[in-house]
Amino acid sequence: MKVAVQIFGLLLLFLCISACSNQNYKAYPRKSFTSYTAPDTPDYTQEDAWAASPFKRDRADRVPDPSIKNRQEEAKADVFFVHTTTYVGDKGQGNWNAPINQELLNQRTDDFGIACQASAFNGAGRIFAPRYRQAHLHAFDDRDTESAVSALELAYFDIQTAFQHYLDTHNEGRPIIIAAHGQGSQHALRLLQEFFDGQELQKKLVAAYLVGEEVTLSSFNTLKPCENATQTQCYCSWRSYIRDYFPPSHDSRPLDVVCTNPLTWELNDLFVDAEQNQGGVLWKFERIIPNMADAQVKEGILWISKPKALLGPKGNRKDFRKVDYHLFYMNIRLNAQQRVGTYFENKQETIISSVPKRRKN
């Protein structure tokens, strides 16, 4: 019975991946960006402008197993999380940018981007995840069109505004984790460039998790990719694909794409067995699946073997980016806690070393 439940859960997960990746839109913007009226600007002083906040109960409070604790109340660090694209062309999603008050859209965001991704950080910090006027998935079909660029600019404006509100109102000098996925990682990358890279705030950066989006060494002037599991003031990034597969854009990729192995948090291309995977989660987020996937960095992407329990017609998927967090959920969770711990250890060492020695009489 347990095996059957696990198989069914995996099938549900990959059915979700298929649905999220399907670009046969029921609705999409058919005119230029300027032909549409932008949705109302979010007011980040209001609770409903946040998908997750430590000041309300939300999906970021969830844990997949009773043995795991949501530690936001006692956390000494904060997490600013930018969710992935959930405005994917379902009925009623025909604008270049999403409103933040569409109930079904928010439910999808909360069930996927917040419960299955942002919650991975609730053992390390207080989670702030803004709702924002995300760009339609169609904007990524051709990112260079004027309308697509404008839609992404509008989305980033909201993220920038939300982050500034967080800094002004809630941060109070606390260290920060920046985390995101997909479109969210594109916006989070710009946030790091503007607020952290070479700025005073870089000293407060625990680490950044820029997952599901291409990030290069040349993206930043001073920020560097994390080279191990405890380094701070650095960033991690990966995009998951089936072993021996390269996406169509691979040959035209920048040669300095950063890829982190989330089982070791190193940048080398060593194969890491699934035994080092502390556990992944399924779509329903009901339990932890140990040894969910192996991992190996290969030419700027992350290769995984097909999960052994996956059966049926969806078992030949090649693109696993939609489940970058699901596959390595527990490793991400534990690593965020580890980096926060290291941050405070280093801070204490700095304080001690800066205290002047007493002069001998």
Location of structure tokens 């509100």: 165
Query: Model confidence over 24-82: pLDDT tens digits?
Result: 788 999 999 999 999 999 999 999 999 999 999 999 999 999 999 999 999 999 999 99
- Sorted by where each begins, the domain ranges of the chain are 2-352
Q: Are strands 126-130 and 78-82 parallel, antiparallel or unpaired?
A: parallel
Token pair for 217:
């060494």
d(CA 208, CA 263): 16
d(CA 242, CA 82): 26
Token pair for 185:
């990682």
Q: Are 226 and 260 in contact (CB under 8 A)?
A: yes
User: Beta-carbon neighbour count of residue 259 at 10 Å?
Assistant: 24
As a three-state string, the secondary structure of 185-253 is HHHHHHHHHHHCCCCHHHHHEEEEEEECCCCEHHHCCCCEECCCCCCCCEEECCCEEECCCCCCCHHHC
**Residue 256 pLDDT level (bands cut at 50, 70, 90):** very high
Token pair for 357:
């020695």
pLDDT at 22: 45
pLDDT at 314: 52
pLDDT at 286: 86
Q: In terms of pLDDT, which residue wins out, 255 or 78?
A: 78
pLDDT at 360: 47
Least confident range from 14-23, 234-243, 326-335: namely 14-23
**C-alpha separations of 338 from 71, 132, 166, 229, 335 in Å:** 14, 30, 24, 8, 5
Q: Read off the pLDDT of each residue in 140-150 and give the average, rounded to a whole number.
A: 91
DSSP state of 40: P
Q: At what angle do helices 183-195 and 146-166 cross, to 10 degrees?
A: 60
Q: Which of 170, 175, 178 is nearest to 213 (CA)?
A: 178
Q: Which of 182, 105, 258, 46 is nearest to 97 (CA)?
A: 105
Largest CA distance in the chain: 82
DSSP state of 287: S
Q: Is 19's pLDDT higher than 60?
A: no
DSSP E strands, 264-352 = 280-281, 288-289, 296-298, 301-304
pTM assigned to the model = 0.90
Give the residues across from 304 on adjacent strands. Answer: 242
Q: What is the DSSP string of 84-105?
A: -----S-TT--SSB--S--HHH
Least confident range from 221-225, 312-316, 344-348: namely 312-316
pLDDT at 283: 80
Give the residues across from 266 on adjacent strands. Answer: 261
**C-alpha separations of 197 from 38, 202, 240, 336, 352 in Å:** 31, 6, 26, 20, 27
Task: Assign residue 265 a region (left: φ > 0; alpha: ψ between -120 and 50; beta: otherwise).
Answer: left
Least confident range from 95-99, 127-131, 347-351: namely 347-351
> CA dihedral in degrees (189, 192, 198, 199; nearest 10)?
160
**Residue 271 pLDDT level (bands cut at 50, 70, 90):** very high
d(CA 84, CA 284): 18
Q: Is 339's pLDDT higher than 80?
A: yes
Give the residues across from 236 on adjacent strands. Answer: 209
